[in-house]
Amino acid sequence: MLIQLESHPNHGATGRIRRENECRIITAAEAEFARHGYKGASIQKIAERAGLPKANIHYYFRSKLKLYAAVLAHILDMWDGLLGELDPAGDPAAEMEAYIRAKMRLTRQYPLASRIFGIEIMSGAPYLQEYFQDGYQDWFRERTAVFATWIARGEMDPVDPAHLIFLLWSSTQHYADFSCQISSALGRQGNELEQADYEQATETLLHVILKGCGLRKALD
Amino acid sequence: MLIQLESHPNHGATGRIRRENECRIITAAEAEFARHGYKGASIQKIAERAGLPKANIHYYFRSKLKLYAAVLAHILDMWDGLLGELDPAGDPAAEMEAYIRAKMRLTRQYPLASRIFGIEIMSGAPYLQEYFQDGYQDWFRERTAVFATWIARGEMDPVDPAHLIFLLWSSTQHYADFSCQISSALGRQGNELEQADYEQATETLLHVILKGCGLRKALD
DNA sequence: AAATAACTTGACCAATTGGACAGCTTTTGC
DNA sequence: GCAAAAGCTGTCCAATTGGTCAAGTTATTT
């Protein structure tokens, strides 16, 4: 049941063909896992989507679980790289604004990744237990400490840092995970949100959350 | 592919035994669908969880899809009943506070329902297309109109009503859908959030969102 | 060009999937 | 108490599941 999340197993050491095919398979797998979750996805469908025979998938990723682990690792890697951390020495308003903008950009650019991650967590994160153990609580405490610093300095309202972080996560991730419902509500064609929607969402979040933390005095 | 979402198919007309067994089956089905999604869930497992032979599930719900439809209908029914609507004649702060508190209560009480709904939407809502068509956009417009009224009266900041609603949905639903991640971050035992966590979350959301809408002048 | 490594894939397997059905027992209506 | 309706379930089925394997082909190395 456990899963091994190596960041870069031993790619790169092997040839060009391997890298290309693994990439095609992972891309196809992301689409299937995002639609059906781990159990619901089928290797046959992934193979068809990748344009390869099924046995080829098993050649590169020895099992369904290994493939899923690779997909999750690929996602976590990408997020680690693209999402900068908050700097306690910086200005809270500027730092939070940068974070929200970065998260919304990611949300827009990689909605599948967000959904795979979301479905995995909703299902009880059975294959991410390792990820959410040990170090995770400490890592999270460091994030909250940044807000605690700002609060102690009187630079923002004494808002519970942990729940403020959850608010940042939820409100931004929602635009990837629930884009289907959102585009229906807004009456967008083909269940596809437009650039303007993301911008409007970003500005609204910035206003409410920053002002809600005491970081904006007037309307702007 | 389409799905029929009758609120109360023709229960009640039939006997006591049927009602009881259907209830047991739906409860078991909710747990399985929440863990594995529609495709990933298996009727065999649902039957085991309900303590009934598999054929019995097919007796009451003629197919897997019909069972899933019943589960979704059960959820939507419940939400419609338990979640009051915003009253444009009321005070914005009081109305939004009541809504957030009600949503957090639901989140706490029926996390499985929230997750099934969430996974369905993340998967592109393939079995809720009917629900998200026609009337949905109009229904949503009515919700936004309430905020538009308050804004026009100068009773709150001119925040985009649609995205404000998304913020209310996302920030509250997050505590059901991602409770696994949250409890890990907070270091709670057995992946179970405590009553105090929900209270703290509610107060934090109330502070940030209400103040962010210009509904709270000072800290409170 | 020979040899070795990497890659490809059709055929096959046991297990599980959703579902059909016939025959059985229990409950209900009169 | 009898007949009809409702409920129950073991057995079977075709299709799909993840996975194996051996026999091939292509690339790479020397």
**Structural domains present in chain A:** 12-67 (1.10.10.60), 85-212 (1.10.357.10)
Confidence of residue A5 (pLDDT cuts 50, 70, 90): low
Q: Check whether residue B54 has its CB closer than 7 Å to nucleic acid strand C.
A: yes
Residue A77 CA, chain-centre distance (Å), reads 10
**pLDDT per residue over B19-29, tens digit each?**
999 999 999 99
Q: Indicate the residue of B35, B122, B167 with minimum beta-carbon distance to A118.
A: B122
- CB A36 to CB B123 under 8 A? yes
Q: How many CB atoms lie within 10 A of CB B118?
A: 23
Amino acid identity for residue B196 in this structure:
A
Q: How many CB atoms lie within 10 A of CB B124?
A: 15
Give dist(CA A105, CA A116) in Å, integer. Answer: 17
Q: Indicate the residue of A40, A136, A137 with minimum beta-carbon distance to B39.
A: A40
pLDDT of residue B2: 52
Distance A189 CA to C26 C1' (A): 55
Give dist(CA B123, CA B81) in Å, integer. Answer: 26
For residue B210, give the chain A residue with the closest CA: A212
- Is pLDDT at A10 greater than 80 in this prediction? no
For residue B176, give the chain A residue with the closest CA: A122
Distance A82 CA to D14 C1' (A): 48
Residue B127: its H or E element: none
Tell me which residue of B206, B211, B182 sits closest to A162, measured CA to CA.
B182
Q: Indicate the residue of B123, B182, B191 with minimum beta-carbon distance to A35.
A: B123
pLDDT of residue A85: 83
Confidence of residue A8 (pLDDT cuts 50, 70, 90): very low
pLDDT of residue A218: 54
3-state secondary structure of A147: helix
Distance A74 CA to D29 C1' (A): 32
> What is the secondary structure of A35-48 as a DSSP string?
HHHHHH--HHHHHH
Nearest 10 degrees: CA dihedral of A9, A13, A14, A15? 130
Confidence of residue A219 (pLDDT cuts 50, 70, 90): very low
Q: Check whether residue A62 has its CB closer than 7 Å to nucleic acid strand D.
A: yes
CA dist A123 → A94, B22, B129, B137 (Å): 35, 24, 23, 29
pLDDT of residue A116: 98
Over residues A4-10, the mean pLDDT reads 51
- CB B211 to CB A157 under 8 A? yes
> What is the secondary structure of B59-80 as a DSSP string?
HHSSSHHHHHHHHHHHHHHHHH
Q: Indicate the residue of A37, A213, A219 with minimum beta-carbon distance to B36.
A: A37
- Is pLDDT at B12 greater than 60 in this prediction? no
Give A96's Cβ-side CA count (13 Å radius). Answer: 28
Q: Check whether residue A17 has its CB closer than 7 Å to nucleic acid strand C.
A: yes
Q: Lowest mean pLDDT: which of A131-135, B35-39, B148-152?
A: A131-135
Nearest-CA distance B198 → chain A (Å): 10
Read off the tokens for B36: 């594995």
> What pTM was computed for the model?
0.92
Give dist(CA A201, CA A196) in Å, integer. Answer: 8
**pLDDT per residue over B110-119, tens digit each?**
999 999 999 9
- Using alpha carbons only, how large is chain B's radius of gyration in Å? 20
Distance A48 CA to C11 C1' (A): 18
Tell me which residue of A26, A162, A186, A101 sits closest to B163, measured CA to CA.
A186
Read off the tokens for A134: 């040990």
Amino acid identity for residue A61 in this structure:
F
Q: Tell which strand D nucleotides have any atom below 7 Å from a protein Cβ.
A: 6-11, 16-22, 27-28
- CB B209 to CB A213 under 8 A? no
- Is pLDDT at A56 greater than 60 in this prediction? yes
Q: How many CB atoms lie within 10 A of CB B143?
A: 17
Give dist(CA B189, CA A32) in Å, integer. Answer: 33
- Token pair 């999340």: residue: A5
Chain B positions touching A160 (Cβ under 8 A) are: 200-201, 203-204
Over residues A159-182, the mean pLDDT reads 97
